[in-house]
Structure formats: structure tokens, C-alpha cells
Structure 1
Amino acid sequence: MKTMEELRRNFKLLDSGVAGANYTYLDNSATMQVPESVLESICDFYHTSNSNIHRGIHALSEKATDYYEEAREKTREFIDAKYPEEIVFTSGTTGSVNMAAQMVEHLISEDSVIIVSEMEHNSNFLPWLALSKRKKATLKIIPVLADGTLDYDAFENMLSEKVAIVSVTECSNVTGIKNSVDRIIKSTREKTNGLVLIDGAQGVVHGRKSISKLGPDFYVFSGHKIGAPTGTGVLYVKKELQDKLRPGYFGGGIVYQVYHDDAVFFDGARKFEAGTPNYVGVIGLGAAIDFWLDAEKNIGKEVIEESEASIMKKLEEELGKIDGINILGKPDKRFGCLSFTTNKLHSYDVCKMLDSYNIAVRSGHMCAHNYLRALGAESIVRVSIAPYNTMEEILYFVDCMKEILSVSAMEGRTECGRMSMEDVEREIINDFAEIGSGINQYALITACADELQELPEEEQNEDNLVKSCQVNTWLKTDWVENKFSFEADSESVVVRGVMSLLQDIYMDRTKEEVENYNCKLIHADFVKNFLNHDQINGINEILAKVQQEAI
């Protein structure tokens, strides 16, 4: 593996024969694809070495334990920690932050101050919010500026001798903005006796730093962000700090003696790894680290980082040329991802339409509600890259975005007249089948959405909310003089369109008609292009309830 092209070939899902021709995976901040060497290492372990680790004296257990501890050493090397016993394996970043919060809970009092930032992923916000409530401590939040960066002056003013812990992200999972964690650690050390946790879930992938030089007390990341199995994570805990901390949870494997009224704990990482760990996943994590260290050695860490930087720069430049796209944040440089909104479409609609082009991006709030609110957004589209992505993929994505935003609604469907519910359904399915797939179906569903009357604002309430939808969708049903009333609305154009079609079928039907109707439209192929599994289930539940009421 000596070139970026050779690196990409290690990810089989990206091959046209597996995921579909020209499949463009741009959802890497959520999870990275897995290299073949990781999959092979897991299969090989199960075939030749599977056994529970530690405490076993038979050959298989000894062999499995060796592999597990080798992964600890590989992780130490990967983040350049000083000692392998500083590496605690967890279930992921969320598990790591929660464990860290539990480790320090006895050090927090009512006088304590906990500092997080407005930029945080919920995984690095909610544990500290909960801890502050349990201990009645003060939680302070570093605000962000209009350009999406942290307000470091505000942070400096928060520091005092009461600060117990500062927990901030290294790199935003929304804007790709990297924080000056060096400055945050330095200021915290100079002005407080507080501890520092750095959330490296994104930072460990893009421009990884030396932990021994950076000097945090805790550093956390997830294995699946670097192509390791899900359910694996790392909690770095500085060696000098470990004796002051309590285990986050308790069980076998963390003690070497237990009495009626006390227990004697192991030193180092084992003190914090209760129960049977995900040892197979950790071995897969070790294989993923091997893969990236090998790539950095043979291709060059700088070459990989420069490739990502040029792709991110091109992505922002080209998206910025498209009318109606609003890119969040204005940093000098982005790492790994950027997010945007459009003036025309909800983020959900953009994501679903891109999916029809075999492009995977993510829509929603990215588990960063506070950050989006500060940036004036509610739901966004995020594009995130990995080292295996190419410039050609980015240009293809940009071209597809231009096409999606240029589409105008075509003429809507013709009135069906007084036909049976089954005949209306059949005609709808035929209309969408005849028009073809992709952009044409999107144009037609948009036209259908335009025909749906907006639900009054007072009816857009909790009672009418379709609970399973990713976007706010409301469905109000009622019986008026033995006729069915079907009203709906949604923030999403495509969901509105589907609701309009269902209204064509159900509106003004008698109880007898509804009782005898078996709705197949919601499972039609074209509907699956517009709604996800949870949304279909949510609407199905409501329609089933309606049918039950008709009996």
C-alpha cells in the first residue's frame, strides 16, 4: 500500500460490485468503513484463538490475552501515550465520557465548576449536565462566536480555583472546526487545579496529535471512527491521576482480593475494565490501528492529511458557488466535515434525494442541539470524508446537489374521481412506475406536496405528531358524519408528498371502506425512496389504529 488509490482498494464496500456503481460514501463522521484486514483479523481470531481473556491459564486464554494486551500497546503507540496502562478500553466515546464522569464524581462538590462548550456532541455534554445536577455543581458553557469557533476570551474568564474539570471536543462533528486544545489545556493548568478531558472522536481521525505532548488528563475516542468494529472505544487516563480515581463500574476482573467490607483493586487500566470486555472488538481495533500506521508509514501521514485538506477545500469552494446553500461556520480550515442548509429543501429531503444518486450523507442535528441552535440552524446536511474519498466523488456530489436544487415540481396527478380505495392506490403506484426513478419521481412527489393543504399551526401539536419520524410530521385523523377526515403536514417536502397521496386514498371514505382496505401504498418501492423504516412504521401504526376504529 503505497498510494491513496491502493489505500481505497482495502475497503470492499466502496467497490462497485458490492454497494452499487459509483457509490459515494460521505458519512464518515458517523462511522468509517472497515478495511479488509480488520475483518480478516476478527475471523482469524474466532477460528484460531477465541477464549475469554485474563485469569485463564490454558493456552487459548493466554493467547487471547496476549492479543488483547498487544492491542493496548498498539493504541498507546497510535496516540503516543507514555504507558500502555493509561489505555482503558470501553464501548466507545459515549461510554468513555460517562466512565470519566463517574471516575471523578467523588471529586465534585457543590462549590465545583464544570466547564463544557456549546460546540459539544451530546455525548460530551449530557454526562456533565447530569453530574452537575447530581452534585449540585455549577455547569458553565463556553459560547461560540458567529463564525462557529469557540469564544476563548469567554473561556478564560470562566477559569477559577473552583473549576474541577474542563471537557471539550478536539474537532467539531458539525463544522469540522478544530479547537485550540493546546490553549485550553495550558490555560486550565495555569489558572486552576482542574482536570481536562478532550473528546477526540473526530480529532483522532483528522490530524491526530501526540497525547504525551498535548498533556490532557483524559482523551476519548471510538474505534468505529477509524474503521474498527462498533462497540469499541478508548479512554486514556493519565497514569499519575489513576490512584485518585474510582472505577466507573464494578465487577470481575478489576480486583485481586475481595472481603466482606472491602476490596483491593488492580493498578492501571485493569482497575477500570470490569467484566468481560469486548475483547474481539478490541483485537479488531488493534488491526485497524495497524492498518493506519502502515498507511502513514508507506504513503506518508502528511500525504494523507494533504489529500483530505485539498478535498475539503474543494468541497467548500464548490458548494459555496451554489445559490441557496448556506454553509455553517467560517473557519480558516476544516477537518473531515462540513454542514449546510438550503433555502429550498429540508435536510431530510436533500439526504433522501442524494441517496437516489448512490450518495450517502447525513441529515438532522448531529447530536449537537446546542451548537446548531447557536448557529441558527435546526436540521442540517453533513458531508464528511475519510482518507479513502476522492476528488471525483466530491465533484459528483456537487453536481448532484446542483441538479436536486434546480428541480421544479411538475404538474400534479389528475383527480381520481370516485374510485375505490384500491383503484386509487393502484393508479398512484402506476403513475410513479411510469415516470421512472430518481429525479422524476422527486419532481412528482414535490407536486403532490404542493397539493396538500397546510395543517393549522394549532393542530401541529404533540397529539398529532408522528413519533417515529426524523422530521416533524403531523397526522390528524377523525370521523365526521361517518366519513374519514385525513389531514397532515410535515417539514419535509417528500413526506408531505406521501401524506398527500394517502389523503387521496383515505379522505371522505366510509367506515366500511376503511375497515376492508389493506394499505399497500406505504410499502411501495417508490415510497421507500422517500420514507425511512421508522417513518413507515410510525404511519402504519396510525393507519392501523384508524382501521381498528372503523370496525
Structure 2
Amino acid sequence: MRTPGLSEKRNFNSQKFKDEKRNFLKEFSTKYGYNGKIDQIREEEYPQLKNEIYLDHTGATTFARSAVVNFNNDILTNLYGNPHSNSPSSRLSSMRIEQVRKRVLSHFGTNEKDYTVIFTQNATAAIKLVGEMFPWTEKSTYKNLRESHNSVNGLRRFLETINPDNIQGVTEKEVKAMFKNPPPVDDQCRYDDNYEKDDEINYNLFAYPAQCNYSGMRFPLSWVRKIKKLNTKTSKTLVLLDAAAFVPSSPLSLANKDESPDFICLSFYKMFGFPTGLGALIVKTELNPILRKGYFGGGTINSVVYDKNWQEFSKDMTTRYEDGTVNFLNIISLDHAFDAFERNYGNIKNISSHVTSLNSYLYRNMKSLRHWNGQSVCTINSDRDFSNSKKQGGIFSFNVKRSDGSYVGYIELEKLASTYGIHIRSGGNCNPGSIARWNHIAADEIIRNYGEGKYCSDDRDIYKGKLYGAARVSIGAMTTIDEILIWLEFFKRFYVEIMPGKTVHDLSTSKFKIFDKSEKSEKLKFNSISKNGFDHGHGLERQRTIRNVKSLVFSH
């Protein structure tokens, strides 16, 4: 039996809505919806989405019900102890942890011979660990792509105290230019050169995101191979791939070790919604001899004394770099998250097709919007082809312009969307390079404005006439076309002017009774709250208001 979709639940019975959905399904029938299973998946696995339009999957996707239920049954049936012991419960934990490590590697097409999984708190902690273990010297260079997350930018701190002149943020164009100047053939290294402790060899680090978390732009995985071709016998560049925003909706194969990154970081809540507080650094095992170990905690050493500066670290990479007790229950829960993922979606390629179909449709519709005078409503923060999953991920990053060319603040947009139960993200998304690129803000401007009191997390989205971020809609494995159509209807109603300074909403409020007195009060109260907070004391009222207002707004 067919499971009812969001259109029925929310009384979206207009012919226009039905026609738009029908046309979408006709165009994307082979890519969208997992062969018609999407409504059933939503109904059975995601009850938390029943009364919400959730479009912030890059921030955090949401979890499958079966993953949580099965994990709950698991820990209520089995006794798991601290893995740093030899009791039966401890041995059971250790066994399950190692099984999950293998499963993570298998998901990315590799094995324990070539790569090691080091569990961390999140992707940021994984990136920080790269900085701590990397063999920095005065000759080392650190380059990272302009579109990097702050977690990647932060790696420069490890080299700042040694040689700050060797730190460089580079653009996509500058990266491509690097490939045009390979070293002489007789000085090049082969892929199978061993990594050994050798004072004559200098190691450099190049880091970039597979997908920009701000714009959704994707960058070629082939860069790794091209970077490796620049290695010489005395200077080698290791590559860190920030895959946190990429792997939730795209396959990543590490099967060809020689052409794959040396370090890969990721967060599992971005992939599965649960567990939170768990990430991983996947690192090539062949790097073991050159990596460093500074601080040590419980379980990372083979021998130690308290009254001399002497200790011997574990030879095993996972043991040596996982300081203290790992989050063993969350690691075990990851096994159930993988189960739910495979049961619901089959494989990551199916998710990629689903997400790309929705995002390309969203892009096409948002790009086509025009005000009464022909002016575009949106400026789009990507130069990629949205129909090509190798070029663009499931993010639509944009800003809104009025018909007179002035900007609408992205915080204002997020607040209004939140009032109607639509979850999006706004701000700089911890990506200063993308802010600079798309909003044309120079470094000196940012530094000067900071001295005047302008900082990252404030609520001034427009400062001195310039935007300091964007609105971001991001799509996940369980996003439906109904949600995209609801978003489009909301956006067109409130932000597309059909005459100077007037939208459909402005003109309809006098004709239709959209808010009663209590609803208007609730809306004003919500708008006075910080974009990061909710008035929990009025939660039930707010939910009732959202449902009532949505029904009225989208039925006319």
C-alpha cells in the first residue's frame, strides 16, 4: 500500500502543486526516490520529520528510527565494558570496535593493510590530529584551498611558530597552475617510494575539501594524483582531504591507494545523523614511521615511568593516537547506523542520484525567479553545473535581492523560514574564504571591521553595505520533492515582488485572514528571539501556530 506523502498530510491539494510534483517525477523518475520507496522510508524511519521541513542536512542530517531502536536493543541485551581491560564485557567492546573499523574501511573501498581508522570526537578533531602528528620542519609548507572550513584553516597554527612565510591559502586557479610545473623526470618520486624517517626529506601538507560546506562546490579527487606527481626525492607533499560535507551524498573510493589522499577526515553524524560526537581520521598505514606523537593519554603507550622523561608508544596506530577511552558505545551504534543506511538506501550512489535530482530542480527554479521588473531574485554562490554530482553537492547557497537591487539579510530569511517550520542555515558557515569570494570582502576589510566590533557570530548580516554570509538550503538522503516544493512556494510568496515593494504575501494579507491575534503575537515574539534560540516556554503554541499558518499560506 502506498504511504501518504507530505502533500496529503499538509492539505496541499492545489492542482498547481500536483502538476509540479507530477512533472518533477516524470523528469527524474530514474534518479529520485529509491524506486518509489521514499515516502515509505520517510513514514517508517523518520517520525521526527513529520511536522517539519528540514533543509539543513549539511549542518547535520537526521537519524533513522531503526538505527536508534536496534542500538537501544543491543545495549540492553549485551554488556559492554571499557575496552582497556580483559573482562568479558571489555573484550566484547573491543571486538565490536574492530568490526566497525573494518566496516568503515569497507565503506570506502579499502582495507586495514592500506589505511587505518582513528576514531575522534568529530571531523575537526581529526583535522587537528593531522596537525599534531605531521612531521613539520622549517622547510615544510602548508597550502590549503580558499574554500576550506575553518577547521582546515586552523592547521596553519602548527607552522606559524616555525615558519609563517610557508603558509599559503590558494585558489582553484592557483592549484591548477601548480600542476603545470612538474619537477624534472629524474628528480620525481614513484608512488611506491617508502616513507622513512630521513632528515634529508622534507614533508609538506596540502589540504582541501572534497565539497565546500558553504557553496556545495566540489573539487576534483584527481588533484591528489596530480599533487603526488610534484613530489621529488627530497620533498614530498601529503594530502589531507576534508570529506565531511562530501561523503554523506557521494561515493569516495580509496581502493587505489597510490592515487588516494594520505589523510581523510569525516563526521558520522553528517553521514547518518547518529551517533553524534564521533568522527574519524582515516590515514595511510605506510605513513606510520614518519608521524609524530606528542601528548599521550591512557592506553597509548607500551611502557612509561613517572620520574623520568621516558615512554614508549604503542606501535599500533589506532592505539597510539586514540588517547584515553574511546566513545565505545557510540562506535558500536555506528554499526547500526550502517545497517539502517544499507537497508533503506542500498548504496551511496542511490543517495547521490536522489540528492542531485532535487538540488538541480531547486537550482533551476530558484535561478529562474524574477521580480516584476525582470531583476533576478537570487544571487547564487556557485559556478558549478548543479546536474553534475561530480561538480556540485546537495547545497544551494544564495542571497536575496529586492527589485531595487538592495539585499535582504540572510538572518531575516532564516528567522521567517523558522517561523513556518522550515529549517535552513544562514551565516558564514565557518568558511572565510567563501565569504571573501562570493561577497567580495578583502582581508584588510575584515580585520578593520573587527576592530570596529564586527565579528563572525554577531547578528549583523549586512555591514557597510556588504553581506557577511549567505542562506543555505542543503538536501539529504531523506529529503522529498514535497519539501522542495513547499520551500519554493514559501520563498516565492514572501520574496518575489510582483509590483514595486509588494509580494504575493503583502497583497494577500488584506484578502485572506492568515494570522489571528494570538498567531500574530506568537510570530512577533519568535522574530524577537536570537536566530540561535527558541522560546521553549511557548513550544506547543509555536507548533500549533506553524501548522495553522502553513495550512493557510499554502492553500491560497
1:248–1:272 contact (8 Å) kept in structure 2: no
In the alignment, what sits opposite 2:410?
Answer: 347
- Cα deviation 1:267-290 (Å, max 9, x = unaligned): 131111110111111112222222
TM-score, normalised to structure 2, is 0.69
In the alignment, what sits opposite 1:316?
Answer: 363
In the alignment, what sits opposite 1:236?
Answer: 282
1:226–1:288 contact (8 Å) kept in structure 2: no
1:532/1:159 Cα in 2 relative to 1: closer, same or farther (>3 Å)?
A: farther
Moved more, 110-119 or 184-193: 184-193
1:206–1:336 contact (8 Å) kept in structure 2: yes
Q: Secondary structure at the match of 1:82?
A: coil
Confirm or deny that 1:33 pairs with 2:62.
yes
In the alignment, what sits opposite 2:148?
Answer: 120
The amino acid across from 2:99 in the alignment is E
1:317 Cα offset (Å): 0.4
1:329 Cα offset (Å): 1.4
2:266–2:281 contact (8 Å) kept in structure 1: yes
In the alignment, what sits opposite 1:222?
Answer: 267
- Cα deviation 1:167-217 (Å, max 9, x = unaligned): 110111122111012224433343451111100001111222112325211
| Equivalent of 2:176 in 143, 149, 153 | 153
1:253–1:270 contact (8 Å) kept in structure 2: yes
1:361/1:219 Cα in 2 relative to 1: closer, same or farther (>3 Å)?
A: same
1:159/1:329 Cα in 2 relative to 1: closer, same or farther (>3 Å)?
A: farther
1:9/1:190 Cα in 2 relative to 1: closer, same or farther (>3 Å)?
A: farther
1:365-514 equivalences under 5 Å are 365-376=428-439, 377-406=467-496, 435=517, 437=519
1:78–1:289 contact (8 Å) kept in structure 2: no
2:121–2:277 contact (8 Å) kept in structure 1: yes
| Equivalent of 1:281 in 330, 344, 355 | 330
1:78-97 equivalences under 5 Å are 78-83=107-112, 86-97=116-127
Separation in 2, partners of 1:63, 1:241 = 30
2:147–2:431 contact (8 Å) kept in structure 1: yes
Higher relative contact order (CA 8 A, sep 6+): 2
Separation in 1, partners of 2:226, 2:291 = 22
Larger CA Rg, structure 1 vs 2:
1
1:529/1:210 Cα in 2 relative to 1: closer, same or farther (>3 Å)?
A: same
1:92/1:317 Cα in 2 relative to 1: closer, same or farther (>3 Å)?
A: same
Structure 1 vs Structure 2 CA RMSD = 2.8
2:55–2:423 contact (8 Å) kept in structure 1: yes
In the alignment, what sits opposite 2:251?
Answer: 208
The amino acid across from 2:171 in the alignment is P
1:530/1:319 Cα in 2 relative to 1: closer, same or farther (>3 Å)?
A: farther
Confirm or deny that 1:338 pairs with 2:396.
yes
| Equivalent of 2:128 in 94, 98, 123 | 98
1:41 Cα offset (Å): 3.9
2:146–2:434 contact (8 Å) kept in structure 1: yes
Where do 4+ consecutive residues of structure 1 move more than 4 Å? Answer: 157-163, 406-410, 432-436, 533-537
Task: Count residues with an aligned counterpart.
Answer: 417
Confirm or deny that 1:130 pairs with 2:188.
no
- Cα deviation 1:353-379 (Å, max 9, x = unaligned): 111221100000011022111112522
1:433 Cα offset (Å): 8.1
In the alignment, what sits opposite 2:41?
Answer: 7
Q: Secondary structure at the match of 1:181?
A: coil
- Cα deviation 1:382-431 (Å, max 9, x = unaligned): 00011111112111101101111147689xxxxxxxxxxxxxxxxxxxxx
1:175/1:99 Cα in 2 relative to 1: closer, same or farther (>3 Å)?
A: same
Separation in 2, partners of 1:196, 1:275 = 27
Moved more, 277-286 or 155-164: 155-164
1:159/1:372 Cα in 2 relative to 1: closer, same or farther (>3 Å)?
A: farther
1:44/1:155 Cα in 2 relative to 1: closer, same or farther (>3 Å)?
A: farther
1:404/1:247 Cα in 2 relative to 1: closer, same or farther (>3 Å)?
A: farther
2:67–2:339 contact (8 Å) kept in structure 1: no
1:9/1:230 Cα in 2 relative to 1: closer, same or farther (>3 Å)?
A: same
In the alignment, what sits opposite 1:66?
Answer: 95
1:158/1:328 Cα in 2 relative to 1: closer, same or farther (>3 Å)?
A: farther
Moved more, 212-221 or 347-356: 212-221
Q: Secondary structure at the match of 1:179?
A: coil
**Per residue, is there more helix in 1 or in 2?**
1
1:286/1:186 Cα in 2 relative to 1: closer, same or farther (>3 Å)?
A: farther
* Gap regions ≥5 residues in structure 1: 145-149, 411-431, 442-523, 538-551
1:536/1:180 Cα in 2 relative to 1: closer, same or farther (>3 Å)?
A: closer
1:171–1:203 contact (8 Å) kept in structure 2: yes
1:296 Cα offset (Å): 4.6
Q: Secondary structure at the match of 1:221?
A: strand
Confirm or deny that 1:246 pairs with 2:244.
no
- Cα deviation 1:104-155 (Å, max 9, x = unaligned): 0xx21222211101000111111x22112122241111114xxxxx553344
Separation in 1, partners of 2:426, 2:247 = 23
1:124/1:9 Cα in 2 relative to 1: closer, same or farther (>3 Å)?
A: farther
Separation in 1, partners of 2:266, 2:160 = 25
1:60 Cα offset (Å): 1.4
1:65 Cα offset (Å): 1.7
1:534/1:395 Cα in 2 relative to 1: closer, same or farther (>3 Å)?
A: closer
1:159–1:188 contact (8 Å) kept in structure 2: no
Separation in 2, partners of 1:180, 1:164 = 20
Q: Secondary structure at the match of 1:211?
A: coil
1:25–1:360 contact (8 Å) kept in structure 2: yes
1:254–1:266 contact (8 Å) kept in structure 2: no
1:254 Cα offset (Å): 1.4
Separation in 1, partners of 2:534, 2:352 = 41
1:291 Cα offset (Å): 2.3
1:208/1:249 Cα in 2 relative to 1: closer, same or farther (>3 Å)?
A: farther
1:52–1:276 contact (8 Å) kept in structure 2: no
1:32–1:386 contact (8 Å) kept in structure 2: yes
The amino acid across from 1:222 in the alignment is S
1:255 Cα offset (Å): 1.8
In the alignment, what sits opposite 1:187?
Answer: 227
Moved more, 279-288 or 231-240: 279-288
In the alignment, what sits opposite 2:530?
Answer: 532
The amino acid across from 1:379 in the alignment is G
Confirm or deny that 1:328 pairs with 2:381.
yes
1:359–1:397 contact (8 Å) kept in structure 2: yes
1:247 Cα offset (Å): 3.2
Separation in 2, partners of 1:10, 1:255 = 46
Separation in 2, partners of 1:332, 1:531 = 37
The amino acid across from 2:65 in the alignment is E
Q: Secondary structure at the match of 2:228?
A: helix
